[in-house]
Amino acid sequence: MENLNDNKIPSMDELKEAIKIAVRNAVKELFKINENFYYLVLITTGAADFLYLSAGSTEGLEKILKQYVEKYGYNPNNPTLKPSLKWSYADTPYNGFGYEKYFKDVESLFSLRPQMSDFDDLDLEEDIIDEKCSEEYNLRLKAMELALKELDEEDVFERKGKRKHLLINVSPDYINTTMLLRLNDAEALKEILTDGGPFIEEEG
């Protein structure tokens, strides 16, 4: 990828390509772990100013369940405990996997894009500032989504014939149902839609 200097604002395509490199490398390393992964999600913020990979596996879920019961004193018979931990990015052992190694370059590119706080310093009407913030935010999310889509087409997420059961997504503060449908087949969506997942909302 072409080197970017401080005077050049990276395009959405350049963001997408950088994200693809980071995710491809992180997933390649992740899949060396002999566990059954059921989700891979790019986590970001309400400002989409950085991102990291979170992954969930059935083996990792059992480890976390054991920890909550033995260390924190949770009732193992509580029917909501396992479903709540199953989709909890903060609790999985693979939250932030490969961040320091692979995603720092992406964060550097985000810093070269217009920042949400920059628009507040402009002498503009509030609705125009909101529109510009929304445009920038959506551009970043689109770069993330396209990166996952293209990597999926390149079979980066295929492992032992289990891709159809693996959920992939981009998640800011909620799980975007519309994006889920664009990135996944029905088989991968069954469990999360049945469980409800964390903070599922429609796009819009």
Residue 29 has pLDDT above 80, yes or no: yes
**Encoding tokens for residue 121?**
């310093």
Cα 78 to chain center, whole Å? Answer: 28
3-state secondary structure of 8: coil
Residue 165 has pLDDT above 80, yes or no: yes
- Provide the residue ranges of all domains of the chain, joining segments of one domain with +: 12-201
How crowded is the C-beta side of 199, counted as CA atoms within 13 Å?
A: 8
Q: Over range 166-182, report the average pLDDT.
A: 82
What's the whole-number average pLDDT of the chain? 86
Determine the pLDDT at residue 3. 45
- The structure tokens 């490199």 sit at 21
When pLDDT is cut at 50, 70 and 90, the band that residue 164 belongs to is: confident
When pLDDT is cut at 50, 70 and 90, the band that residue 4 belongs to is: very low
pLDDT tens-digit readout, 112-142 = 998 766 666 666 677 777 788 889 999 999 9
Determine the pLDDT at residue 115. 78
- The structure tokens 């260390």 sit at 71
Determine the pLDDT at residue 180. 86
Determine the pLDDT at residue 133. 82
